[in-house]
Amino acid sequence: MQQNIQNKLNISQIADKLLKDPCVRFSKCEVENLLKLFSKCSRDAEKMDRMRFRDVLHNTFDMTDDMLMDRIFKAFDKDNDSLISKDEWVKGMSTYLKGSLEEQAKFCFDVYSMSAVNATESVISREDIHSMLKHCLVKQPTEEDPDEGVKDLVDLMLKKMDFDKDGKLSFDEFRCSVLDDPLLLEAFGPCLPDSKTRLVFLRTIEDPKGRKNSQGATDNIPESLKQIRLKPV
């Protein structure tokens, strides 16, 4: 009982702190439920490792692509310690589920960019685009050389988005292209939830008592959250 009250207090305090950040686009109840889900998925650890995070993406958001899931993990892991903290979890989920086009452009760029010009500047290189498109498009071998088709597509994308013609995409180039044509947001592979999965998930973290009850979250994980499928350990 004492432990429960302590947990509730901790969650409430962490939620209050997170809500001060303007990039967190959730209500207090939603943040608290996200934190409960975090504890459930990380088996009460302070941080979530890559495998557990991938389980969430796979079981909750129907993502199946290992390479993209690892890249999404990298985009959530802002301090690069190979673990997701509660802070990174809530802020990442905010962008992933409710981000503005601008925020999601940065998120997708982080997912797609593996090459760094230097320690502070990342780019999406021709090789990055090639490996992602090849990975996403070439699912079964055909008689024709599939690489040729991928190469043509890479050239086409670079022609469209690489404004300074240096053979790679800077964040500014990617951002301008996306703001101009939002369909380019996931140009190199799916890295955001589809609208149905997104809505279902958002419903599970809403306060089930909604606006009728201002008491906030309950002690335990709400019924709706329990329905989220988690792989048995």
Q: Which residues bind Ca ion (CB under 5 A)?
A: 77, 79, 81, 83, 162, 164, 166
CB closer to Ca ion out of 85 and 204: 85
Smallest separation (angstroms) from Ca ion to the CB of 174: 9
Smallest separation (angstroms) from Ca ion to the CB of 164: 4
Q: Is residue 175 a contact partner of residue 102, using CB atoms and an 8 Å limit?
A: yes
Displacement of CA 117 from its chain's centroid (Å): 24
Residues in the chain: 233
CB closer to Ca ion out of 165 and 229: 165
Dihedral Cα 53, 56, 58, 63, nearest 10 deg: -80
Smallest separation (angstroms) from Ca ion to the CB of 76: 8
Neighbours of 44 (CB within 10 A): 9
Smallest separation (angstroms) from Ca ion to the CB of 107: 15
CB closer to Ca ion out of 32 and 77: 77
Smallest separation (angstroms) from Ca ion to the CB of 87: 8
Displacement of CA 22 from its chain's centroid (Å): 18
Please state the three-class secondary structure of 167-213 as a single string. CEECHHHHHHHHHHCHHHHHCCCCCCCCHHHHHHHHHHHCCCCHHHC
CB closer to Ca ion out of 30 and 162: 162
CB closer to Ca ion out of 16 and 49: 49
Backbone angles phi, psi at 117, to 5 degrees: -70, -45
